[in-house]
Amino acid sequence: MARIVLAMATTHGPQLHTTVEQWALRVKADQARKHPYRREMRSFDELVAMRSGEGLEAKSSPTGMAESHRRCQAGMRVLAAKWDEIKPDIAVVLGNDQNEMFETEELNPAFFVFCGEKIPNYLQSDARRKELPPGVAEAEHGHATETYTEYDGVPDLARHIVDTLIARDFDVAVSSRWPRNARNGAGHAFGHIYRQVMRDKVVPNVPILQNTFFPPNQPSAQRAYDFGRAVKQAIDSWADDKTVAVFGSGGMSHFVIDEQFDRAFVDALARKDKDYLASIPLSDLQSGTSELKSWITLAGVLKDVDCTMHEIDYVPCYRSVAGTGTANGFYWWEMTR
């Protein structure tokens, strides 16, 4: 029978793959729109006024950002070292898509399991890279390979996961072929794991997508948690004798950082507080923060696993005095038996 030997939760955003100087390229976009923060949509200027007492001038200064950048790079190295130490046979990667694999206006499944033999990775075309916002295009190298690359899927496990999900009343989308019009093959939620944790030595894996970002079919926190319970049942009942790693890729609070929210979330994750995690309202899981639903799914996977969570680091990477930026976190679970 398959056995989970490692679990990891990590952020995956562009700030992890760009310089401090490139972080500043995102501020113009931050200023141009309203952001969800504490269940209200707020302008950049409103956020500046609200958060004036939080010391964000220092945290978003070149010195402050450089220290945040250093800690993030160190955190990713620790995750990669732990992965290399444990060496699981295969992986299940829980992530989301942002018009990389699916064009949202054409198709946007609430849940999707890839059942194919090969997972491609490659850079977006020059034309499409020009469409990316400043500060995002510069991060492509962090998750996309310079030349066309293929990784092995695990079709048998993927189909068994689908069978289990259907039996548990999840109507899940599937495909055995990567979409032909995918922008760069494996999107950043998955490519980040392949390149930054596995360091391009990618084991066979099952990519599982959840629509965290885009209304109207965003799963609730409860649904995300229950989905994880079903994925765990599938792993446990898969006949192949493999060691398995499970990843939650996404989060944390962004594009406005909320350290209070992140800390409450992580505390609940550490103590396996299903009641807290499954009851977070959708109003708190919007914009980039919505990606924490992948971590909620991971929590569902780990509910009955005898394991201990380790925090490598939590790094709120501010890029403006409005508190915009991305909070980054790096976590792994040690199996105690």
Write the pLDDT tens digit of every residue in 253-274: 999 999 999 999 999 999 999 9
Number of C-beta neighbours around residue 181 at 10 A: 9
pLDDT of the residue at 62? 97
Alpha carbons 108 and 94: distance in angstroms, whole number: 16
Element (H, E) at 207: strand 205-210
pLDDT of the residue at 134? 85
Largest CA distance in the chain: 57
- Nearest Cα to 228, choosing from 294, 292, 291, 327? 294
Average pLDDT over residues 63-89: 98
Residue 76 neighbours by CB under 8 Å, 6+ apart: 10, 16, 196, 197, 330
Confidence of residue 133 (pLDDT cuts 50, 70, 90): confident
Say if residue 337's pLDDT is above 80. Answer: no
Surface-to-core class of residue 92, CB atoms within 10 Å of its CB (0-12 exposed, 13-18 middle, 19+ buried): buried
Average pLDDT over residues 33-62: 97
pLDDT of the residue at 258? 98
Handedness of CA 5, 12, 61, 43 (dihedral sign): negative
149-160 confidence digits (pLDDT tens): 999 999 999 999
Say if residue 105's pLDDT is above 90. Answer: no
Which of 3.40.50.720, 1.10.357.10, 3.40.830.10, 3.40.50.2300 is the CATH number of 3-335? 3.40.830.10
pLDDT of the residue at 182? 85
pLDDT of the residue at 192? 98
Confidence of residue 301 (pLDDT cuts 50, 70, 90): very high
pLDDT of the residue at 160? 98
Alpha carbons 322 and 262: distance in angstroms, whole number: 17
**Using alpha carbons only, what angle is made at residue 143 by residues 142 and 144, rounded to the nearest 5 degrees?**
110
Work out the mean pLDDT of the chain and round it to a whole number: 96
CA atoms within 13 A on the CB side of 310: 14
pLDDT of the residue at 129? 83
Contact 196, 80 (CB under 8 A): yes
Q: What predicted TM-score, i.e. pTM, was given to this entire model?
A: 0.97
Structure-token pair, residue 245: 């790693």
229-255 confidence digits (pLDDT tens): 999 999 999 999 999 999 999 999 999
Confidence of residue 219 (pLDDT cuts 50, 70, 90): very high
* Residue 29: C-alpha distances to residues 17, 25, 244, 269, 297 (Å): 18, 8, 40, 32, 30
Average pLDDT over residues 296-313: 98
Surface-to-core class of residue 189, CB atoms within 10 Å of its CB (0-12 exposed, 13-18 middle, 19+ buried): buried
**Using alpha carbons only, what angle is made at residue 40 by residues 38 and 41, rounded to the nearest 5 degrees?**
125
pLDDT of the residue at 130? 83
